């Protein structure tokens, strides 16, 4: 910004100097030539006044005059009687015989001729001339002086522009630095006031925005922390009760309780993840833990098998041979698959199948398909508030896509009929075993 302010100021001064100096330089030129002609006319008139009447062959005396000016007296025949100048009268001197003061140029000189008369009768002319080179020399000296003044003005303008640029840009640079600190997560950064009213107003607006943002974030974090804490407390009591029931003698009861405990443990991990995200800002693409994809989908199948069976639906899981050795972010994968299976159970039809396959790169693909169809497009289905059928909240698929992106993956709608969602997650292969 400093360079821009200086550039604008310097250009403005240059334009002003050009607009002012050009007519001034032309005025100097015109004035100097006019002054020189006036000086020649005064010299010629003074000589005409002091020259006594003369007759043919008489001697003519000229008064002293300024150096550099040629003064000559010519009779009516055009012969030079005294002084300096051409031997015969030129056109300017001849024109003065009519009793008029004549100005003109000739042979790179300025010429002025005045009539010489006695008893109201013209008896000759007085011619005064000077070199135009001397006039131009004075004009060039004046122009150099004008250029020096313009240079001083331009230098002063640059200094003032630089000072003004610092004055204008310093508060904006400080404001930008504070905004960058807020963007980096420092919500305690506050912009300072400045002497410029407009920038000061922007700084106050930014501080107000950051304060509101801080309060909203604190509110969200406190809400997540409180909700997670309360859920953990209730889950802890439920888990203790189920563990006590699982030690009973009834085998069927133990199996049911064991399955319920698995569900509680999964919910406990979900709550722990929510609490972790509430306490610190997560870094996208950095998963917390990884497990083999086979273990993840088998655990998901165990949790959802009974739910699908109760609803008269089938759930199948297929892990292709190339994907059996891949490890994926387990918590993100579990939560996303839970959302997709819940969506398939509520809004889909027929058999639901989860297929894990290798993509050929450092990623694993999981396809969740059912026998239903979607009317929404590939982008609209993930928009918050968009629902695949009546009774939906329009949040689940949006949340699943955000979880996938936070884990460094991607969730897309592969096909609308039959409905198929594809989840891509970063995958790692286990190190080769020795021997």
In sequence order, what DSSP letters do the residues of 264-312 get, joined into one string? HHHHHHHHHHHHHHHHSPPPTT--S-EEEHHHHHHHHHHHHHHHHHHTT
- Sign of the four-CA dihedral 114, 119, 120, 124: negative
pLDDT tens-digit series, residues 100-109: 999 998 888 9
pLDDT at 228: 61
Domains of the chain: 2-139 (3.30.450.20), 197-279 (1.10.287), 290-426 (3.30.565.10)
How much is the pTM?
Answer: 0.46
Q: Which of 286, 278, 291, 378 is nearest to 333 (CA)?
A: 291
Q: Is residue 416 within 8 Å of residue 349, measured between CB atoms?
A: no
pLDDT at 30: 94
pLDDT at 56: 45
pLDDT tens-digit series, residues 284-298: 444 468 889 999 999
C-beta atoms surrounding 340 within 10 Å: 26
pLDDT at 411: 92
pLDDT at 289: 80
Q: What's the rounded Cα separation, in Å, for the pair 329 and 407?
A: 7
Q: Which of 288, 243, 285, 286 is nearest to 262 (CA)?
A: 243
pLDDT at 83: 87
Burial group, residue 302, by CB count within 10 angstroms (0-12, 13-18, 19+): middle
pLDDT at 378: 64
Cα angle 67, 70, 75; round to 5: 145
Q: Is residue 40 within 8 Å of residue 128, measured between CB atoms?
A: yes
pLDDT at 171: 81
Q: What is the pLDDT along the chain (435 residues), one digit of tens a residue?
A: 677 777 888 888 888 888 998 999 999 999 999 999 999 999 999 888 887 665 445 566 777 777 889 999 998 888 888 888 899 999 999 999 998 999 998 888 999 999 988 777 888 899 999 999 999 999 999 999 999 999 998 898 888 888 878 777 788 888 888 888 888 888 788 888 777 788 888 888 888 888 888 888 777 766 666 566 556 655 665 666 667 666 766 766 666 677 677 767 777 766 666 565 555 444 444 446 888 999 999 988 988 888 888 888 999 999 998 888 889 988 888 888 988 998 888 888 999 999 999 887 788 999 999 998 887 766 778 876 556 555 444 567 887 888 888 888 999 998 888 999 999 999 887 655 554
Q: Is residue 88 within 8 Å of residue 80, measured between CB atoms?
A: yes
Q: Is the peptide bond before 417 cis (omega within 30 degrees of 0)?
A: no
pLDDT at 127: 92
C-beta atoms surrounding 62 within 10 Å: 17
pLDDT at 325: 85
Q: Is residue 85 within 8 Å of residue 129, measured between CB atoms?
A: yes
Share the mean pLDDT of the chain.
81
Q: What's the rounded Cα separation, in Å, for the pair 54 and 223?
A: 122
pLDDT tens-digit series, residues 8-61: 888 888 888 889 989 999 999 999 999 999 999 999 998 888 876 654 455 667
3-class SS of residue 12 = helix
Pairing of strands 102-105, 121-131: unpaired
């Amino acid at each position: 910004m400093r360079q821009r302010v200086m550039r604008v100021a310097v250009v403005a001064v240059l334009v002003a100097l050009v607009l002012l100096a050009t007519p001034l330089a032309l005025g100097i030129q015109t004035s100097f030539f006019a002054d020189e002609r006036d000086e020649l006319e005064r010299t010629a008139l003074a000589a005409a006044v002091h020259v006594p009447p003369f007759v043919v062959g008489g001697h003519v005396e000229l008064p002293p005059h300024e150096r550099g000016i040629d003064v000559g007296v010519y009779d009516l025949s055009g012969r030079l009687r005294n002084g300096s100048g051409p031997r015969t009268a030129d056109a300017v001197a001849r024109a003065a015989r009519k009793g008029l003061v004549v100005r003109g140029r000739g042979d790179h000189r300025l010429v002025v001729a005045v009539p010489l008369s006695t008893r109201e009768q013209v008896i000759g002319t007085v011619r005064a001339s000077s070199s135009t080179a001397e006039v131009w020399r004075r004009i060039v000296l004046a122009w150099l002086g004008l250029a020096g003044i313009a240079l001083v003005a331009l230098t002063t303008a640059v200094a003032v522009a630089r000072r003004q640029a610092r004055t204008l840009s310093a508060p904006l640079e400080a404001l930008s630095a504070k905004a960058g600190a807020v963007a980096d997560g420092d919500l305690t950064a506050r912009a300072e006031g400045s002497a410029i009213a407009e920038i000061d107003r922007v700084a106050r607006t930014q501080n107000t925005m950051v304060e509101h943002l801080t309060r909203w974030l604190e509110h969200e974090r406190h809400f997540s922390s409180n909700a997670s804490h309360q859920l953990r407390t209730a889950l802890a009591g439920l888990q203790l009760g189920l563990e006590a029931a699982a030690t009973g003698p009834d085998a069927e009861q133990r199996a049911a309780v064991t399955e319920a405990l698995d569900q509680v443990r999964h919910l406990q991990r979900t709550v722990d993840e929510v609490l972790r995200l509430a306490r610190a800002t997560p870094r996208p693409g950095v998963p917390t833990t990884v497990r083999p994809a086979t273990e993840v989908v088998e655990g998901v199948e165990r949790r959802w098998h009974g739910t699908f069976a109760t609803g008269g639906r089938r759930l199948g899981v297929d892990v292709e041979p190339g994907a059996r050795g891949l490890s994926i972010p387990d918590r993100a994968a579990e939560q996303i698959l839970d959302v997709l299976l819940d969506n398939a159970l509520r809004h889909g039809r027929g058999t639901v199948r989860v297929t894990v396959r290798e993509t050929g790169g450092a990623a694993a693909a999981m396809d969740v398909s059912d026998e239903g169809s979607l009317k929404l497009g590939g982008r609209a289905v993930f928009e918050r508030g968009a629902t695949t059928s009546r009774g939906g909240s329009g949040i689940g698929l949006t949340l699943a896509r955000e979880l996938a992106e936070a884990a460094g993956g991607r969730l897309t709608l592969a096909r609308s009929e039959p409905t198929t969602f594809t989840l891509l997650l970063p995958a790692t292969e286990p190190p080769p075993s020795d021997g």
